[in-house]
Structure 1
C-alpha cells in the first residue's frame, strides 16, 4: 500500500508541476504580433535661412511592423519601413524646386499601453539612404544626386497608436514623429553648384518627418 502511494505521488506530482507551469506561461507569455503598416509622410528639413526657405513635401511609407507586449503594459515594437520624404525650397524668394529622398529605416522603440485601445512609444530610428532625386523649377527634369548625401541617418522617434477591434482584431492606426540628429548633406560647407541642377543647403540640415499610418498585425 505504501509503495502504491509513493508511486502515485511520483506520477501525479510532475503532472501537477507541469500543469502549474503551463498555466503560468499561458498567463504571462505574450506572442509577438507581426504585420504590415503604411501611411502618409509630411516631411521637411529642420533648418533654413532667409535666402533659402523650406516647404513641406508629401510622401509615403510602407513596411513591416512587430510588437511584443512582454511585461504587462510595457513592451517593445519595431518597424522596418521604406520611407519616401524630402522638402521643397525657395531660393531668394523664387520657387526653385524640391528634393526627394528614399530611406530604409529600422525603428526600435519602447511601448507603453495604459489602456487596451491606445499605446505610446518612443525610441531610436536608424536609416540607410537608397536614393536622392531632385526636381527643378516647373520642369519635369529629374536628376539623381545621391552622392551628395550621407548614406546613414539616425535620430529619435515617438508617437501614439490606437487599436480598434470594432474594425478588426489587429487593426492599428497612429501617428509618429521622427527628428533626425545627423546632417543629410555630406560636407555642406563644401557644396559646389557646378555639377548640381539644384542648390543644396550650405548649412546644417536634418530630417523632420510626421507620419500618419494604418496597419494590421497578426
Structure 2
C-alpha cells in the first residue's frame, strides 16, 4: 500500500505541474520541446540477503519531450516524459580468494513521467537550474550473465548463490526517479546536464517467504546530457 501511495502522490505532482490551473496561473506559457538524451548509469541491485557489489557502469539513451505550461512567481512549471533504453544490473565484489568474477546486464525500456521545475533566465539565451521528479516504469527486454571461466560458487562465505543462473521472474519494473541539473539555452537549442537517482520499488525476483530473496530491486545514479529543440516557445 505504501508503494502505491508514493506512486499516486508523484503522479499527482506531475499532473499538477503539467496541467494549468486557472486560479494559480501568473504567467501562462506554451513551450513544447523535443530532443534526445544519453548518458551512463552507476547501476546496482538492492538484495536481501545482501550481495557485495562493485561499481557497474551501463549505458542509457532515448528521446525526451517537455512541456512548460506556466511561470509561477520565479519558477517555470511543466512536465517531462521520456522513452529510454537503459541497461542496469550488478557486478559482484567476490573476495573469497577464488578469483571468480560475475556480472549481470539487464536491458530495459523505461518511461519516466516527471514534474519539471526550473529557475533562472526567462527569455532569450541563458541558464536555468532544473529539478525533475516523478514515477518511472520499465519493462525488461533481455538479460545476460558474464562470469569467469574458473567458477567456484560453493566457496562463497556468505552462502548467497541463488542468483547465479536465475533469470528475472518479473519483467515489469517501477520506482521513483529524481534529478537536478543545469540547462543552457542557446541559439541552436537547449542543453541540459543532469544528475539523477532512481530508486526501484519493485522486485525482479519473487519475494514470498518460500523464495530465497525478500528484495531484489534496481537502483542507479545517472549522468544525463539532453538536447532539446523548441517546437513552440
TM-score, normalising length: structure 2: 0.68
Cα distance change of structure 1 residues 92 and 49 upon mapping to structure 2, 3 Å threshold: farther
Give structure 1 stretches of 5+ with no counterpart: 1-26, 140-144, 192-200
Superposed displacement of residue 209, structure 1:
1.0
Query: Which residue of 2 is the match for residue 61 of structure 1?
Result: 60
Query: Which residue of 1 is the match for residue 32 of structure 2?
Result: 32
Query: Which structure 1 residue ranges, 4+ long, deviate > 4 Å from structure 2?
Result: 187-191
Work out which of the residue numbers 186, 194, 197 in structure 2 matches 1:177: 197
Work out which of the residue numbers 197, 200, 217 in structure 2 matches 1:206: 217
CA distance in 2, matches of 1:205, 1:124: 19
Give structure 2 stretches of 5+ with no counterpart: 1-26, 122-127, 151-164
More helix by share: 1
| Bigger-Rg structure (1/2) | 1
Q: Secondary structure at the match of 2:63?
A: strand
CA-to-aligned-CA distance 1:65-109 (integer Å, 9 cap, x gap): 011111211110111100011111245735440100000001001
CA-to-aligned-CA distance 1:88-146 (integer Å, 9 cap, x gap): 1245735440100000001001111122311111100000000111111257xxxxx68
Query: Which residue of 1 is the match for residue 226 of structure 2?
Result: 215
TM-score, normalising length: structure 1: 0.72
Aligned pair 1:158/2:178, yes or no?
yes
Structure scoring higher RCO (CA < 8 A, sep ≥ 6) equals 2
Query: Which residue of 1 is the match for residue 86 of structure 2?
Result: 83
Q: Root-mean-square deviation (CA), in Å?
A: 2.6
Aligned pair 1:70/2:90, yes or no?
no
More strand by share: 2
Counting matched residue pairs gives: 178
- How do residues 41-120 of structure 1 correspond to structure 2 at under 5 angstroms? 41-47=41-47, 49=49, 52-72=51-71, 73-90=76-93, 93=96, 95-116=100-121, 117-120=128-131
Superposed displacement of residue 169, structure 1:
2.9
CA distance in 1, matches of 2:166, 2:142: 5
Cα distance change of structure 1 residues 49 and 130 upon mapping to structure 2, 3 Å threshold: same
